[in-house]
Amino acid sequence: MAKSSGLNFNLPSVDDLFSTEEERAEARLEKVINLSPAEISDFPNHPFKVRMDAAMQEMTESVKQYGVLVPALVRPKPEGGYEMVAGHRRKKAADLAGLAEIPCIVRQLTDDEATIIMVDSNLQREQILPSEKAFAYKMKLDAIRRQPGTRTDLTSVPLGQRLGQTSREALADKSPDSNTQIQRYIRLTHLIPEILELVDNSILKDQEMLQIAMRPAVELSYLRKEEQADLFAIMDEMDCTPSHAQAIKMRQMSEAKTGDERLAKDALVSIMKEEKPNQKEQFKIPKEKISRFFAPGTPTQKIEDTIVKALELYRKRQRSLER
């Protein structure tokens, strides 16, 4: 008996044979359905934190009173149930409010499509931590790189270098940050969690923690993990963080090391002890206290020079009296 040739004649399915085109079109339309929050799992490695802050309390009170007004976006999972794409905070507020169901749009999405939508929808939030943007942008760019016909050098160019048109559009698409700033955020993913937490604190402003600005943090991301761990211990002990200039110096010294060599702790301490421009002690005299000694319009520098000379003469006179 001859074997089947395996030809595909594109025969219609049973459902197609016994349904109209209108019914089939209706089945393809997205609909809003009510789902139990227990049926919806979080997006894998979701970079945006659901914080129990004042905004969440306000959202919970609103949900208690009015319900969830904007449907969440979910996608079906192959093994059953659904995966949240956009709406993690709404789901949490519904849980806290004791709602049994929330409205959801169910959409068939690939992993990369879901990632891009998840990132873009969360970037519209009012307060986003640097660590959230860092991992979100990295996830989005990895997804974009896998799209057919997209350049694969989106994250490999040096900071500040002009990108090709296609890359610029891919990087800036629905993003509130410039391409260069996005690249800086992505560099933060190379920081150890302890230092990345200090970058987040530049937004959260927890008085019990140190905080570090974006630019020095980017430079520190080029240090080896072991060097970062050493630096974090030093920052904790000295109760201060490096300036941008100090961070650049640490990076340069680290990159000069080869093989298994690493930046010594003593070198890190020495750099941290260098005086920062913004840490120089400033002594100010209220203008109204000294204005009567100078003609109107006297330049500030001349006033400072005159005061210094007067103090020098006073010190000389005091020394001569002591002899």
Give residue-wise pLDDT tens across range 146-205: 877 655 554 444 444 444 445 445 656 668 888 889 999 999 999 999 999 999 999 999
| Core vs surface per residue 297-320: b (16+ CB within 10 A) or e | eeeeeebeeeeeeeeeeeeeeeee
Which amino acid is residue 229, in one-letter code? A
In this prediction, residues 42-62 reach a mean pLDDT of 93
Read off the tokens for 204.
């959260």
pLDDT tens, position by position, 63-122: 999 999 999 999 999 999 999 999 999 999 999 999 999 999 999 999 999 999 999 999
pLDDT tens, position by position, 217-245: 999 999 999 999 999 999 999 999 999 99
Read off the tokens for 245.
């200039």
Read off the tokens for 51.
């914080």
Question: Tokens 């993690």 map to which residue?
Answer: 88
Q: What share of the chain is helix, strand, coil (3-state, %, to 5)?
A: 55, 5, 40
Q: Are 163 and 189 in contact (CB under 8 A)?
A: no
CA distance linking residue 199 with residue 242, whole number of Å = 12
Q: Is 52 exposed, middle or buried (0-12, 13-18, 19+ CB in 10 A)?
A: exposed
102-106 and 40-41 beta bridge pairing: unpaired
Measuring CA to CA, which residue among 2, 30, 8, 32 is closest to residue 109? Answer: 30
pLDDT of 22: 63
32-35 and 82-86 beta bridge pairing: unpaired
Expressed in angstroms, the distance from the first to the final Cα of the chain is: 127
**DSSP for residue 74:** E
pLDDT of 116: 92
**DSSP for residue 44:** T
Q: To which H or E segment does residue 84 belong? A: strand 82-86
Cα angle vertex 260, ends 254, 264, to 5°? Answer: 45
Question: Tokens 């989005």 map to which residue?
Answer: 140
CA distance linking residue 235 with residue 242, whole number of Å = 8
Question: Tokens 């931590």 map to which residue?
Answer: 129
Name the band, by pLDDT with cuts 50, 70 and 90, for residue 321.
confident
CA distance linking residue 294 with residue 67, whole number of Å = 69
Q: To which H or E segment does residue 24 belong? A: helix 21-28
Better pLDDT: 46 or 281: 46
CA distance linking residue 224 with residue 231, whole number of Å = 10
Q: To which H or E segment does residue 272 belong? A: helix 265-272
Q: In this model, does residue 263 exceed pLDDT 90?
A: yes
Residues facing 76 on adjacent strands: 82
CA R_g for the chain? 30
